[in-house]
Amino acid sequence: MARATRTNTDAGSAGADRATTRSAADFLPARKTLASLREAAAGCRGCDLYENATQTVFGEGNAHASLMLVGEQPGDSEDREGHPFVGPAGKLLQRALSEAGIANDDVYITNAVKHFKFEWRGKRRIHAKPKRIEVRACEPWLIEEIKQVKPKLVVALGATAAQALLGPQFRLTERRGELLASPVAPRVVATVHPSSILRAPDDEARHAEMARFVDDLRIVAAMLRAA
Ligand code: URA
Ligand code: SF4
């Protein structure tokens, strides 16, 4: 509905201009609860990514969690199953959270982008990095999730989530593990994405990166206790 109206009023503007203004904002429900947002997000066409994906993967977990974890976008397993972080990266993340002493029931977990972006490689669907314009288009869902859950702390997993929360200039390598403020969440910490640990070149590197990730999450646990 919203889109049909907007298309009419925008009829005279350039196609490129219209593309930059397309957004999940056109699909937000009038009355916002996590349930109504989830339902509305299932029908989102705020960017092109819904076209090839199986379904919207909305955030899940404790609706009043102290900690919100934000990944990049659903992967192959998440796209099929409809739940965030249920594939290999999710399993690694669960292990790291438990090693850091963070209770699963105090976490809400979501992604910066709610549809799986991929390229076909033979019969396999390979992760493709979402463009900035797609991250921007999807941001309204994340902002509303933060408003509803009101976590004490938001942890960005990887550069895409960090840039969604902290702006495109944000450099993970420079500010990893620091407590930062964002216009959409007063307390944000950025760390690596669990997939980056899975991609480590050998066992030694993987163990070292896992240990550093768990250390970051231990700092997060301490911040939560102090908050
Ligand atoms: N990677 C992500 O960023 N999110 C998921 O849900 C799964 C893998
Ligand atoms: Fe909507 Fe986000 Fe999916 Fe794009 S990726 S269609 S903005 S839910």
In the chain, domain spans: 15-226
Burial class of residue 43, CB neighbours in 10 A (0-12, 13-18, 19+): exposed
Work out the widest C-alpha separation in the chain, in whole angstroms: 58
Q: Is the four-CA dihedral 198, 202, 207, 211 of positive or negative sign?
A: negative
For Cα atoms 13, 137, 115, give the angle at the middle one, nearest 5 degrees: 130
Exposure class string for 71-95: b at 16+ Cβ within 10 A, else e:
bbbbbbbbbbeebbbbbebbebbbe
pLDDT at 227: 86
Cα of 131 to ligand 2 centre, how many Å? 12
130 CB near ligand 1 (under 6 Å): no
Residue 156 has pLDDT above 50, yes or no: yes
Would you give the distance in Å from CA 16 to the centre of its chain?
26
Cα of 140 to ligand 2 centre, how many Å? 10
Q: Which CATH superfamily is domain 15-226 in?
A: Uracil-DNA glycosylase-like domain (3.40.470.10)
73 CB near ligand 1 (under 6 Å): yes
Task: List residues bridging with 43 in a β-sheet.
Answer: none
113 CB near ligand 2 (under 6 Å): yes
pLDDT at 37: 98
* Cut 0.85: pTM above it: yes
Nearest CA residue ID for atom 4, ligand 2 = 47
Rounded to an integer, the average pLDDT of 23-30 is 98
74 CB near ligand 1 (under 6 Å): yes
Higher pLDDT, 109 or 6: 109
